[in-house]
Structure 1
Amino acid sequence: MDRIKQAEEALTKTKETMNQRYRLGYHIMAPANWINDPNGLVQFNGEYHVFYQHHPYNENWGPMHWGHVKSKDLVHWEHLPVALAPGDVCDVDGCFSGSAVDNDGELTLIYTGHHYTDKENDVFFQNQNIAVSRDGVTFEKIGENPVIAKPPADSAHHFRDPKVWKHNDTWYMILGNATKEKVGRVILYRSADLRKWEYVGVLAQSDGTLGFMWECPDFFELDGKYVLMISPQGIEADGDDYNNLFQTGYLVGDYDYDTNEFVHGAFTELDHGHDFYAVQTLLDSKGRRIAIGWMDMWEANMPTKTDGWCGALTLPREVTLGSNNKILMNPVEEVSLLRESEHHVCKNKSISGDYLVKTKEDLLEVKAVFELTNTTASAVGLKIRGLNDEETVITYHLEQQKLILDCSKSGKVEDGVRNATLEANGLLTLRIFIDRSSIEVFANDGQATMTSRIYPGEERLGVELFAYNGDNNSEVLVQELTYWNLKDIWK
């Protein structure tokens, strides 16, 4: 408790001098300093809880704590005290990522303890631990820790990020792992009581092309199929795919609990923006599978560090299964609670070249629908405009069937462009969420999503639609352009 108190005092001190210029209006952030992976997504006593990897003493990554927020509606979040602080025998150098379950009224956090044996050379070992709470605010690490002291004998030292769920009367845990030959994989354990765990075996493993370590695994049933979400480290870029330092994606297939056999298809990236990693999901009381990711990327440019904070989480997204076992993500319906004013700009209007709608608001939801069947344009799209040629551009190239997000004129000068394949089939629907330093694009009901941090330095000018054929203006029918001013939940 002394370490929790010290962490809270450090956050309060940093908040007093924090620069607010890029602070987000409706996303989960720590009160100050560093955050990364979302952890422990769970419903408990009628409220949604989200934990996150947190360094409360510095704007850079450091000894990991668990930060904590809760919400009744997935939109209005409340900061709670730091839930876990490292320094005990089971987690001397960090409380790394993990998950949470409601165990008959006891909120249980399952997390990785990190231990350096040679910090300078990043030599470490990892184990799995448990902390419990009755009130959902104050947590106590159990005396039996670590509940899993070491990985299987054929493992490397990478052994982290437990995701726990219950099937029938048995608890299951998957962990990100690597073999001694540096092959990424996910391994499975089971338990009757969350304390004593039995190793079952390998759930899935790289074929040699999917990296040296699989972080942050999540495994769940969705519409009769089983989905394994993973964040592999070490995949080489391949055209428009795998362009970030590390990736997040999924495998879909069939699973047999009796044999631990998971027969699945190919790995597919989940989001094609710059800043999406370490996704975790929960199944809520409405039967929805809801995902939240870290809205940043390792070794990326993070200008908010000079402001006293760094890192944020994405909007909560409902995960569904589309055709050909494609995972779709769309904002949960509750995000409509953010809307303060609605502006219907145009309906069934032909535009040629550029069409600017002026607004200085910096918290926006935008919906634009383009009819593509009769257009003479080869490219259509939307710009979030600022003064002095500052802009974030979303372009759809009809012939290439490619959606492009260009942030190179909004703070990502180097490596500012990302691409996603999208078969529009005559209609392009863009639903875009703009926050002070982020953009989330959902195209054609989640057929493509692109998430990136942006860092504008100028005042907002407005939203601009466009239609071009090469260097020439062209016409396109805009079925709808609507935007909403969104509220700042932190004010």
Structure 2
Amino acid sequence: MERNLMQLNIQRAQEEIDRKKELVSKGSMRQEYHFMPQAGWMNDPNGLICFRGKYHFFYQCNPYGAFWDCMYWGHAVSEDLIHWEYLPLALAPSESYDDYPKGGCFSGSAIVCEDKLFLMYTGTANNGNGVEQTQCIAYSTDGIHFEKYGGNPVLRAPKGIKADCFRDPKVWKHGDTYYMVCGASRDNKGLALLYRSKDMFHWSFFNVLAESRGEWGFMWECPDFFQAGDQYVLTFSPMGAGDHTSVYMVGDFDYETGKFDYYISKEIDWGLDYYAPQSFETMDGRRIMVAWANEWEWMPLWKDWGPSYREGWSGFFNLPREVRKKPDGLLQFVPVKELENLRVNPIKKEKFVLEEQETEIKAGDGICYEIKFNLDLQETTADQVEIKLRCGDGKNTVCLFDLKKGEMSVDRNFGDGWSKGISRSILNLKEKNELDVHVFVDRSSVEIFADQYSNNHSNNVFASDEQNQIFMSAYGGKAVISGLETYGLKLS
């Protein structure tokens, strides 16, 4: 009976999506090559995994409107991380522990156990004692149709942890033991709790994996933990930490004590629209990270949820990125190589000089494209180098490399007549001969990677198709550009 209720709720929600998806697909803000919902709202990536030869994306979604509300889990599969087939919704609110108008099936992860695909997710409900978040299990034999475990919830918030701040389990296996890290808040400080289990159903608290001492916000959302070479990496999105929206830490981990000792802490992305990243391992052994291309700090401040909301959809994922560790321990986040298969109409230029007068750059149709170039720091005398993207109709988005002040910024205040904000980061040029820059632009987004993919900015810009020009300039001297490559990007 209980399982049938979830299936009924999935059927109803799927009918709502099917009724809207054709009209929504015609929206002027729809992305060309980023993953997005067919209709309605989408936020955090969940349960990213390889299962029986295919990549699976699960994601939080609201099938009934293009705004955040009661959460379901959407589901899609791919063979190349670029082209996606939508499957029926995987999870729907249906039980006393996850059926609540402002709750539902919150974020989680996936793991293969005895040839079954297991989902571990946060059930959010309110049964008269305030919002309570618990950890729950669902599983599938075919990877499409899921059944909730009859013994849910398998974990409740421990003593000292706020019941409404205990969420987003990420599960993995080491040896013969399953481990899970969960985001939490204690004494108004964020932390990651570590649990372990022998069978995926019975869990015991192990240790506080890592915690804020006041410097990393009041709640850690969507933690992830994985090995990179001889070290380990913890990622999370700290709430209440200002410009810090997606953090990674590199350090040592002891499976005997369950404690993580980090000595590097950096940003995955400084942009205004990169949140709740989750990683998984591909079939060829790469560590791939995917995030939600939005962020909570600014979204509720507006009168509506944005231009795409008015088209009946909201939210998409940033480009999948391969995580690589450099010899100095810092991480790189490199757009996956599969994106190269989308390239059309290449243009290449070995070397040219920028001055204050704008130089126009051609890349595809000026709407969906890729640009790569190197800034020669030895021959450049300019104080600033600027690239203007999605220009037209009096609007543009400006990326500025301030070589004199050591800062990179992306200004979208004049990008579309709606979006606001400037993302900023330190530009470390010490003892470097060149600065590498890699840009991906889609119909509603700008993602800029610099300095060996360690200084990244992802920002949504809902530009019109008339905004299809690109310009570059240098101020306070000349700038020498080498190895320019541009491409149009098309799914078909």
TM-score, length-scaled by structure 2: 0.92
Matched, 1:44 2:42: no
User: Deviations 1:218-276 (Å, cap 9, x if unpaired)?
Assistant: 011102111110111112x3xxx43xxxx210221111001112111254222111100
Matched, 1:483 2:486: yes
Change (3 A) 1:412 1:174: farther
Q: How does 1:12-161 map to 2 (within 5 A)?
A: 12-18=18-24, 20-93=27-100, 94-117=104-127, 123-148=130-155, 150-157=156-163, 158-161=165-168
Change (3 A) 1:414 1:110: closer
SS at match of 1:409: coil
Partner of 1:349: 352
Matched, 1:213 2:219: yes
Amino acid in the other structure paired with 2:400: T
Partner of 2:449: 442
Which deviates more, 417-426 or 181-190? 417-426
Change (3 A) 1:217 1:385: closer
In 2, the alpha carbon distance for the partners of 1:466 and 1:25 equals 28
Q: Is the 8 A contact 2:207 2:259 kept in 1?
A: no
Within the candidate set 328, 333, 336, 2:337 is matched to 333
In 1, the alpha carbon distance for the partners of 2:400 and 2:283 equals 38
Partner of 2:288: 290
Matched, 1:314 2:318: yes
Amino acid in the other structure paired with 2:85: E
Q: Is the 8 A contact 1:360 1:459 kept in 2?
A: no
1:361, CA displacement in angstroms? 3.8
1:193, CA displacement in angstroms? 0.7
1:488, CA displacement in angstroms? 3.3
Q: Is the 8 A contact 1:291 1:318 kept in 2?
A: yes
1:478, CA displacement in angstroms? 1.4
In 1, the alpha carbon distance for the partners of 2:262 and 2:315 equals 33
In 2, the alpha carbon distance for the partners of 1:169 and 1:385 equals 52
Which deviates more, 319-328 or 475-484? 319-328
Matched, 1:202 2:208: yes
Amino acid in the other structure paired with 1:417: I
Within the candidate set 182, 185, 189, 2:191 is matched to 185
Q: Is the 8 A contact 1:412 1:454 kept in 2?
A: no
In 2, the alpha carbon distance for the partners of 1:436 and 1:315 equals 13
Amino acid in the other structure paired with 2:310: T
1:25, CA displacement in angstroms? 0.8
Equivalent pairs, count: 471
Amino acid in the other structure paired with 1:109: L
Within the candidate set 275, 293, 318, 2:273 is matched to 275
Which deviates more, 88-97 or 52-61? 88-97
Change (3 A) 1:404 1:118: farther
Change (3 A) 1:383 1:118: farther
In 2, the alpha carbon distance for the partners of 1:411 and 1:445 equals 29
In 1, the alpha carbon distance for the partners of 2:270 and 2:394 equals 25
In 1, the alpha carbon distance for the partners of 2:146 and 2:214 equals 40
Q: Is the 8 A contact 1:75 1:337 kept in 2?
A: no
In 2, the alpha carbon distance for the partners of 1:118 and 1:305 equals 32
In 2, the alpha carbon distance for the partners of 1:476 and 1:419 equals 21
Within the candidate set 340, 365, 371, 1:360 is matched to 365
1:458, CA displacement in angstroms? 5.1
Matched, 1:461 2:456: no
User: Deviations 1:432-491 (Å, cap 9, x if unpaired)?
Assistant: 11000001111122120110100113513322221111xxxx3222112221111136xx
Within the candidate set 244, 253, 256, 2:254 is matched to 256
In 2, the alpha carbon distance for the partners of 1:444 and 1:452 equals 18
Partner of 1:224: 230
Partner of 1:431: 438
Which deviates more, 257-266 or 327-336? 257-266
Q: Is the 8 A contact 1:41 1:100 kept in 2?
A: yes
Unaligned runs of 5+ in 2: 1-6
In 2, the alpha carbon distance for the partners of 1:324 and 1:428 equals 18
1:414, CA displacement in angstroms? 6.3
In 1, the alpha carbon distance for the partners of 2:74 and 2:397 equals 31
User: Deviations 1:103-142 (Å, cap 9, x if unpaired)?
Assistant: 13211111011112469xxx30011111111211111112
Q: Is the 8 A contact 1:133 1:140 kept in 2?
A: yes
Within the candidate set 394, 398, 414, 2:403 is matched to 398
Unaligned runs of 5+ in 1: none
In 2, the alpha carbon distance for the partners of 1:361 and 1:133 equals 44
Amino acid in the other structure paired with 1:49: H
SS at match of 1:460: coil
Amino acid in the other structure paired with 1:187: L
CA RMSD of superposed structures (Å):
1.7
1:145, CA displacement in angstroms? 1.5
1:285, CA displacement in angstroms? 2.5
1:16, CA displacement in angstroms? 4.0
1:304, CA displacement in angstroms? 1.2
Q: Is the 8 A contact 2:383 2:402 kept in 1?
A: yes
Amino acid in the other structure paired with 2:74: G
Amino acid in the other structure paired with 2:285: G
Q: Percent identity?
A: 38
Partner of 2:4: none
Partner of 1:421: 426
Q: Is the 8 A contact 1:176 1:217 kept in 2?
A: yes
